């Protein structure tokens, strides 16, 4: 069941959405409502909803700024309520954190279709996380295909970044170099990468490198120093520290545990 928060300063519109929409038939429940952006931000942080439906123009914080600030701490799907007069402004002003738009007055049939779509995407994401947690030894294993499946954006920048990790992890790799190659800002790519994967680019890259290092250690064919270099770590001590961070063991102890 999706948990919904509605932020709308016009009382009649907010109450109409909260009490007249048949949320249960959509497998949804409204967990909180807010009459302004500041209250909305506080309640998003408190209730951590799956979906936030927000008006653009609200006192204290507008819907755009409320969503921007809340997204730094809570992962949710955001939907803007807008009128025809505001629609062009919304598309120009909003950043990538807003996922969908709903025109006022809200068409309940379109709302139901949107909730079904979002529920499916969230379920797919949770299934991917579950598969990862079931197969992940000591927090290391990453299945890049699962994460690529979560990138449903038209541009596919995150999927492209993940592919660069797959093919280039052994060399020098950074979010700056990839963003330059893709023609986007590093800050934008970093933000989208974390939204999709739940991790920073560097954290994901290091985890993937450690995963490859563990596989090489398991073959028993290489020295630890050779594996360090082969997986993109130019400094041996740094490699050992990063390996221990993600496996709770030094490379040497990891090897002994496999014997």
**φ, ψ (nearest 5 deg) of residue 30:** -85, 115
Look up residue 192 and give its two tokens. Answer: 């989208």
Domains of the chain are: 2-124 (3.40.50.2300), 136-259 (1.10.10.60)
CA dist 224 and 203 (Å) reads 21
Residue 35 phi, psi dihedral angles, 5° rounding: -100, -5
With tokens 């600030």, the residue in question is 69
Provide long-range contacts, Cβ within 8 A and 24+ apart, for 101-108.
102/53, 104/13, 105/13, 106/17, 106/21, 106/81, 108/21, 108/22
* Backbone dihedral angles phi then psi of residue 71, each to the nearest 5 degrees: -65, -20
Give the pTM.
0.51
Residue-by-residue pLDDT tens, the chain, 259 positions: 899 999 999 999 999 999 999 999 999 999 999 999 999 999 999 999 999 999 988 999 988 889 989 988 888 999 888 775 555 555 555 554 566 778 888 888 989 998 988 888 887 777 666 554 443 444 456 677 778 877 777 788 999 999 999 999 999 999 999 999 999 999 999 999 998 888 899 999 999 999 999 889 888 888 999 999 999 998 999 999 999 998 888 999 887 775 5
Q: 209: helix, coil or strand?
A: helix
Burial letters 171-209, b for 16+ CB under 10 A, else e: eebebeebbeebebeeeebbbbbbbbbeeebeebbbbbb
Place of tokens 């309520």: 81
58, two tokens: 């609200």
Strand ranges, E, within the chain: 2-7, 28-34, 51-55, 77-82, 98-103
State how far the alpha carbon of 206 is from the alpha carbons of 41, 155, 212, 245, in Å. 33, 25, 10, 10
């Amino acid at each position: 069941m999706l948990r919904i928060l509605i932020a709308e300063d016009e009382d009649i519109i907010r109450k109409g959405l909260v009490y007249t929409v048949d949320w249960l038939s959509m497998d949804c429940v409204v967990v909180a409502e807010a009459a302004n952006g500041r209250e909305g931000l506080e309640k998003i942080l408190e209730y951590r909803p799956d979906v936030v439906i927000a008006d653009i123009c609200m006192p204290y914080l507008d819907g755009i700024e409320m969503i921007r600030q809340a997204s730094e701490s809570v992962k949710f799907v955001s939907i803007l309520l807008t009128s025809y007069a505001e629609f062009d402004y919304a598309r120009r002003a909003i950043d990538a954190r807003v996922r969908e738009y709903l025109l006022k007055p809200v068409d309940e049939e379109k709302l139901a279709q949107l909730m079904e779509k979002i529920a499916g995407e969230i379920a797919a994401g949770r299934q991917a996380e579950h598969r990862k947690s079931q197969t992940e030894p000591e927090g290391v294993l990453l299945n890049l295909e699962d994460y690529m499946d979560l990138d449903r954006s038209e541009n596919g920048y995150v999927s492209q970044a993940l592919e660069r990790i797959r093919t280039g992890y052994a060399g020098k790799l950074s979010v700056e170099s990839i963003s330059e190659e893709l023609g986007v800002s590093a800050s934008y790519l970093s933000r989208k990468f974390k939204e999709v994967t739940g991790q920073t680019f560097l954290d994901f890259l290091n985890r993937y490198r450690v995963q490859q290092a563990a596989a090489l250690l398991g073959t028993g064919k290489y020295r630890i120093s050779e594996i360090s270099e082969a997986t993109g770590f130019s400094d041996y001590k740094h490699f050992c520290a990063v390996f221990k961070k993600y496996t709770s063991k030094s490379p040497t102890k990891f090897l002994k545990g496999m014997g």
